[in-house]
Structure 1
Amino acid sequence: MPVVDDDVSSPPVLLFDVFKTLLLFDGDHVDDATFVHLASWLRYRQIAITPKALQRRYLSVTQAQLAAAPGQPPDVDVLVVWDAVLAELSVSQVRRRELVVELALVYRQITTRQIDVWPGTFEMLDACRGFRLAIASNTQRAYTEPELRMLGLWDYFERVIFSSDVKACKPDIAIFQRALVELDVAPGEVLYIGDNPYDDVLGAGRLGIPAILLERDTPAPPNVELPTPLARVADGDPGAVARLAKAHFGWPS
């Protein structure tokens, strides 16, 4: 990740969502076959459990951890979920450390039909050079850090905060608060960029962070009063975010 010199006055931060903002994604296709595959994967590692029993344990642990999480809405860390599932199967702590990361990625792979960089993303980020770039997004670190690395986006960002890190999903303010602390900035030094009027514009707005809304047909819940974004950007103009950010912060275009 880029390194910021603390001795120099830091430029403002552009804080990005991930899915439908930076990445195309068609995933979370979970069904009975998912657990057939996972039970087979575990069997090859001398861990015996039926697909139905594995599914019940996974869902039970997930629900318990969601109930204990502080966010509104809450989130879990899937590595902690899988660690608890394997612990219930009497797998040693040493083996669990070896297995949970790969098990989480196998789950992600078999439930994902498409993942790719949203067209124009590299051009958008290149146009934003000079700003500090960071991510705050509803997703699992176990999945999305490898995906951003795989797709060549990780090194653009100084800080990356996921909902699994704070056990809370946008529009809960926890993820935005963590970003402000880690970046050592005030809300007025940040612009948020996302596609979701509810999660992104409302969530950031609760802390006084203005948002640029990428118009990608993401619906908002009905009967919810939403703040007005700083600007709306349609696809096909990857330089728009940088131009709007420069105008907002009084930088020369």
Structure 2
Amino acid sequence: MFESCQIKGVIFDCYQTLIDIDTDEHSHETYKTVSRWLAYQGVDVKPEKLKDSYMLKVKERMDESPETYPEVRVEEVFAEICGENAVWRINEKRLGVDTSRVFRAASIRKLLPFPQSIRLIEHCINIPKCIISNGQRVFSELELRYLGLYDYFDFVIFSSDVGYKKPDLRLFMTALKRMGLEFQPKCVMSVGDSYENELLPARKLGMRAMQIEEAWEKFGLKK
């Protein structure tokens, strides 16, 4: 159906566009669960300290970054926390990855695909398409795979891959280049839930852009 608009490529956002998600990264219960799990990995850190350390280290990395829209890698943050609180010898890098995934699992309250978005993807099955997400590859890729979405796309760019987030134009420029459409931005559609993060930067580059619910309605996919 996008072909009728002469669209040659589509860029999708991930969360609240393809995936309906709700998380609580501030809940004491989230850090309590991670703290208990870490005890079995050789790391002794109480929930309150874990939360404070995590929030502080993320903020420090954000503040130190030269980027306008900085991003961190949470597995590096957790690796550092684990190293500082280890009670026996650990593999910090590997434990940082595992802790990131446990933290995500503990914080998730809802994780479902939007059925309307799956049908929308299927409408443009023969068109090059990708995802640009302000997300952490360490667990976001697994969520896409678990929900059966990852293989629909030619590639996925996560902000954690590059150290900066949307609305940074470079993410969209990279996607255009990887699709071979850097000289045809007007033939590419950006679909997402955020005007600031998905619609505005795409239009600045000469792309078309559509809010996700508008796309559902356009193609008769509304609930």
The letter of the residue matching 2:210 is I
Residues 111-122 of structure 1 aligned to structure 2 (within 5 Å):
111-122=107-118
Detail structure 1 runs of 4+ shifted over 4 Å in the superposition.
Answer: 90-94
The 8 Å contact of residues 193 and 212 in structure 1, kept in 2 or not, is answered as yes
Q: Quote how far apart the aligned CAs of 1:15 are.
A: 0.7
More displaced stretch, 167-176 vs 128-137: 167-176
Task: Indicate yes or no: 2:18 matched with 1:22.
Answer: yes
Provide, for residues 24-72 of structure 1, a one-character-per-residue CA deviation record: whole Å limited to 9, x for no partner. 1111342222222211111111211222222222122111111133433
Question: 2:193 aligned to 192, 195, 201, which one?
Answer: 195
Q: Given the alignment of the two structures, is residue 96 of structure 1 paired with residue 92 of structure 2, yes or no? A: yes
- 2:63 is the counterpart of 1:47: no
Amino acid corresponding to residue 105 of structure 1 in structure 2: R
What is the CA deviation profile of residues 128-147 of structure 1, one whole-angstrom value per residue up to 9, with x for unaligned ones?
A: 01110101121111121000
Distance in 2, matches of 1:86 and 1:183, equals 39
Check 1:18–1:34 CA distance in 2 against 1; reply closer, same or farther (3 A cut).
same
Amino acid at match of 1:127: H
Quote how far apart the aligned CAs of 1:208 are.
2.1
**Secondary structure, counterpart of 2:138 in structure 1:** helix
Give the TM-score normalised by the residue count of structure 2: 0.85
Matched, 1:139 2:121: no
C-alpha distance in 2 between matches for 1:26 and 1:146: 16
Checking the alignment, whether the CA contact within 8 Å between 2:128 and 2:179 is kept in structure 1 is no
Q: CA, structure 1 residues 45+93, in 2 after alignment: closer, same or farther (shift >3 Å)?
A: closer
Q: How many residues align?
A: 214
124, 129, 150: which one aligns with 1:154:
150
1:192-241 Cα offsets, whole Å, 9 max, x none, are: 111211211112122222212223xxxxxxxxxxxxxxxx434484679x
Bigger relative CO (Cα 8 Å, ≥ 6 apart) = 2
Greater helix percent: which structure? Answer: 2
Structure 2: gaps spanning 5 or more residues: 1-6
* Structure-2 separation of matches of 1:92 and 1:168: 35
C-alpha distance in structure 1 between counterparts of 2:87 and 2:175, whole Å: 36
For the aligned residue pairs, the C-alpha RMSD in angstroms reads: 2.4
The alpha carbon displacement at 1:22 in A equals 0.8
Q: Which residue of 1 aligns with 2:72?
A: 76
The equivalent residue for 1:233 is: 215
Distance in 1 (alpha carbons) for counterparts of 2:165 and 2:36: 32
Distance 1:181 1:93 in 2: 44
Aligned partners of 1:21 and 1:194 also within 8 Å: yes
TM-score by length of 1: 0.76
> Counterpart of 1:169?
165
Aligned in 2, Cα 1:41/1:236: closer, same or farther, shift over 3 Å? farther
Return closer, same or farther for 1:157/1:238 CA change in 2, 3 Å cut-off. Answer: farther
Cα distance change, pair 235–102 in 1 and its aligned pair in 2 (3 A): farther
Residue 211 of structure 1 aligns to a residue whose secondary structure is strand
2:54 corresponds to 1:58: yes
Aligned to 1:130: 126
- Distance in 2 of aligned mates of 1:28 and 1:206: 33
In 1: Cα distance, 2:138 partner to 2:31 partner: 19
